Structure 1
Amino acid sequence: FGMVVGDLKKRYPIQKVILVGDRGMVSEANLDQIRELGMEYIVGVKLRKSKKAQELLSIRGPYKKVLPNLKVKSKKIDGETYVLCYNPDAEERDRASRQVVLENLQSKLDELGPSGLVKNRAYSKFLTIEKASAKIDEEKVSNDEKFDGKYAIRTNSSLTDEEAALAYKELWRVEQAFRNLKSNLELRPMYHRVESRIRGHIMVCFFALVMESFLAYKLKEIGCQTSVKDILHDVSQMKASKIRVNGEEQIVRTELQGQANLAFEALVTQAPPRVLEKNTCH
């Protein structure tokens, strides 16, 4: 890991870099190496398993609002800032999901008894086993409620709580980019064997990703709610044909239709996009 980061620092002479990583990506050993390299980081924490992070749950006082669906609290612990992030929408989803599990659990208990459920993690965490019987443990249910809509991050950076939370929230864009490379842009499977062709294939996919990201940015800038995926679908419906006119070959294509037509028309004119009947671009 240290070699990779060191190589990146040599190739890209950027003055300040903050590494952002998900909960399962960064170990304590990696964090030690990042600190030794004099770099900063923002990483996710497994809130249910980290005693340090769980100290955040006992912080009194209101959350600081960052976005309608993001509020934060923080605490300095062993030289790092731990930030508790709270999403009210996710809290509702977690509560509803648990309720479904509990209803199914009681039904399964009545039907199968404890033996058929103890190996199911979704069920067993709410159970208390006593000899040959089992019942739903209300204390465990109450404890689980404390985590509804919450996740934690830790950072050694000088960013504010709000900035750190927003930076971590943007991690999904990187993950989406990798998904696009593997699926939409068809980075894999790769059928080339010559190194130059492999490099060329990856470069073309990278340029496509940059263009897709730029298109998404421009659509947002003009207020168009249509997704890039929908536009690319409409573009894929275009057909090209080779025809001969007066003895000369020409290539003609079908017209751009649907959301793609409206979006590109708006991009050219920089005017608010017109609306189709389905109202998907407004």
Structure 2
Amino acid sequence: MQIVHSQRRGSRDIEHIGSAHTDADLELLKAVARQRLAAGQGELDLRLPGSPANQGEALPITSSRMGHLLDALGRGYDVLGFGAATGRDEVFKALVLARIIEPTSKLDSLRVLAEAGMDPPSYRTVKRRLRVYAGADQNPDDAARDGDGPGDPAAGQPAGVDPAGGRWRARLARACAEHVSLGPTTLLLYDVTTLYFETDEGDGFREPGFSKERRLEPQITVGLLTDGSGFPLMVHAFEGNRAETTTMLPVLRAFLDAHHLPDVTVIADAGMVSEANKRAIEAAGLSFILGARVPDVPYVVTEWRDTHPDTEIPDGHVFVQPWPAGPGDKRRDHTIFYQYKTDRARRTLRGIDQQIAKAENAVAGKTAVKRNRYVRLTGATKSINRTLEAKNRALAGIKGYITNLPNPQPEQVIGAYSRLLQVEKSFRMSKTDLAARPIYHHTRESIEAHLTIVFAALAVSRWIEHTIGWSIKRFVTTARRYRTIQIRAGEHTITAADPLPDDLHAALNAIHGTH
């Protein structure tokens, strides 16, 4: 394809446009040539049929799609088995992908899907399907067959709403469990968080309670169960005024019953575990690694200091205290590990120094007496509790771990416990990257549906992160910029795409299983 510019006296200037090998290539080169011929011309375009000016228009884009991002997220969704688990429900899949791309309200999710290049469902369809995603549209026989029963009105649950999300979420949880290949060596991490609502009055489900975000508004308590890598396995919603220690056993029992597991190792922080919880875990025949409260200086620590006077405990030193079961105890032998960390001791001692300085000012009358554990009041007399100060300084740097595993090694127990950081990371992802706080939802049914969508989105996000080693935020931010477009040139349609950088290309290859 060439453009020949004629000049006086027979001289010519030839501009080469390119070579075509197919009809589509020829149409594209013709369009480029027409644009160059029309460049800079001030011809009045009357939009008449067959007008030459119309031939110089830019080629129309018939579709634009975040193809790489959508295909990658869809790949993760299918690898986890969510397509089969949900009966190929395209509305649910669309809501999950929209939650990952740009978390927003269900109504605004339709805009996100349209901008991504998907055909969004109608808002009426979304609202109608939310009842199904909440697990409310099921009968007791179906629920029992799928491993999750309906809510119990006598226990304060609205009829038809399951705190575990009902049948729909149970299917997703089963797909997640199959993905991680559960077995006796599986580690289960458990933690809770709170999600608050911008309202003044509770409704029996959204209630004021102890808030991890220091909020006074009504909230709900959410319990999350993950494997050792932080991959989500189950999520439960509880009343906002429910104690954290009472949430773990219902989640564990539901999970174990659903998957018929004889034994797993439960890992939880000391704040999650009461003595009743510990006994119940033992009664279920489960193994555990739990954070141990250390109210007083352990005997093994005192003995070591007596044996090594004027010597600092080495950084990372672990004290071992066996706790064998007695003849009448219905439990396994326990082992308690106490680990000393220099950096932990430094932070604790700095906090004690600050509290003591405030207490001294309060005792001297320089400041008002506020809540301070080191200020002791005897009638009208104020003094500093030096006994408590000495005990806390002696405990600085000491953290306890208790397990019922046979022949445990300190590295094994402490290393497994440190994986609780992964479930905390999953909570951070759900609150930030996936905007889990259901600010646009007001009914129990709508909130449960929302948590089901967030649960599935969290699982896909964790799979993406594990597969490529990127954060989900980095992947979405990077991949969404590269779109696939279709251009109409005459009677032909041409597909074009932005060239990918090497790192994104490698990440997409890893997701799709090609190298």
Asked if these proteins are the same fold (TM beyond 0.5), I'd say yes
* 1:21 to partner: Cα distance: 1.7
Matched, 1:228 2:476: no
Contact persistence 1:127–1:134 (CA under 8 A): yes
Partner of 1:44: 291
Q: Secondary structure at the match of 1:24?
A: helix
Partner of 2:259: 12
What are the equivalent positions in structure 2 for 1:176-255 lying under 5 Å apart?
176-189=425-438, 191=441, 204-217=453-466, 228=471, 231=474, 234-235=477-478, 238=481, 245-246=488-489
In structure 2, the CA distance between the partners of 1:47 and 1:234, relative to structure 1 (3 Å rule), is same
* 1:191 to partner: Cα distance: 4.7
Contact persistence 2:461–2:472 (CA under 8 A): no
Report the number of matched residues.
245
Specify which of 350, 357, 381 is matched with residue 103 of structure 1.
Answer: 357
**For structure 1, which segment, 235-244 or 69-78, has the greater mean C-alpha deviation from structure 2 after superposition?**
235-244
Contact persistence 1:242–1:249 (CA under 8 A): no
CA distance in 1, matches of 2:383, 2:377: 7
* 1:176 to partner: Cα distance: 2.4
In structure 2, the CA distance between the partners of 1:99 and 1:265, relative to structure 1 (3 Å rule), is farther
Partner of 1:168: 417
CA distance in 1, matches of 2:383, 2:413: 42
In structure 2, the CA distance between the partners of 1:231 and 1:82, relative to structure 1 (3 Å rule), is same
Matched, 1:21 2:21: no
* 1:75 to partner: Cα distance: 0.5
* 1:17 to partner: Cα distance: 0.2
In structure 2, the CA distance between the partners of 1:75 and 1:198, relative to structure 1 (3 Å rule), is closer
Contact persistence 2:319–2:337 (CA under 8 A): yes
CA distance in 2, matches of 1:70, 1:86: 5
Runs of 5+ in structure 2 lacking a partner?
A: 1-247, 308-313, 326-333, 511-515
Matched, 1:93 2:347: yes
Matched AA of 1:143: K
CA distance in 2, matches of 1:5, 1:173: 18
Q: Secondary structure at the match of 2:285?
A: coil
* 1:143 to partner: Cα distance: 1.8
CA distance in 2, matches of 1:100, 1:233: 44
Contact persistence 1:73–1:161 (CA under 8 A): no
CA deviations over 1:116-136 (Å, ceiling 9, x no partner): 32x51xx3x323446644344
Partner of 1:54: 298
> Share of identical aligned residues, percent?
20
CA distance in 2, matches of 1:160, 1:93: 27
Matched, 1:73 2:319: yes
* 1:264 to partner: Cα distance: 3.6
Partner of 1:148: 396
Partner of 2:277: 30
In structure 2, the CA distance between the partners of 1:265 and 1:133, relative to structure 1 (3 Å rule), is farther
Task: Report the TM-score, using the length of structure 1 for normalisation.
Answer: 0.65
Matched AA of 1:167: A
Q: Which has the larger radius of gyration?
A: 2
Matched AA of 1:75: Q
Matched AA of 1:90: R
CA deviations over 1:186-216 (Å, ceiling 9, x no partner): 33416598989966x6565344323433454
CA distance in 2, matches of 1:69, 1:214: 36
CA distance in 2, matches of 1:96, 1:180: 31
CA distance in 1, matches of 2:353, 2:494: 64
CA deviations over 1:171-197 (Å, ceiling 9, x no partner): 121132133224321334165989899
CA distance in 1, matches of 2:259, 2:361: 58
Contact persistence 2:267–2:289 (CA under 8 A): yes
Higher relative contact order (CA 8 A, sep 6+): 2
CA distance in 2, matches of 1:144, 1:262: 54
* 1:18 to partner: Cα distance: 0.9
Matched AA of 2:414: A
Contact persistence 2:431–2:437 (CA under 8 A): yes
Runs of 5+ in structure 1 lacking a partner?
A: 63-67, 221-226, 271-282
Q: Secondary structure at the match of 1:186?
A: coil
Contact persistence 2:433–2:473 (CA under 8 A): no
* 1:56 to partner: Cα distance: 4.4
Q: Secondary structure at the match of 1:60?
A: helix
* 1:269 to partner: Cα distance: 9.0
Contact persistence 2:464–2:472 (CA under 8 A): no
Contact persistence 2:441–2:447 (CA under 8 A): no
**For structure 1, which segment, 247-256 or 20-29, has the greater mean C-alpha deviation from structure 2 after superposition?**
247-256
Task: Report the TM-score, using the length of structure 2 for normalisation.
Answer: 0.39
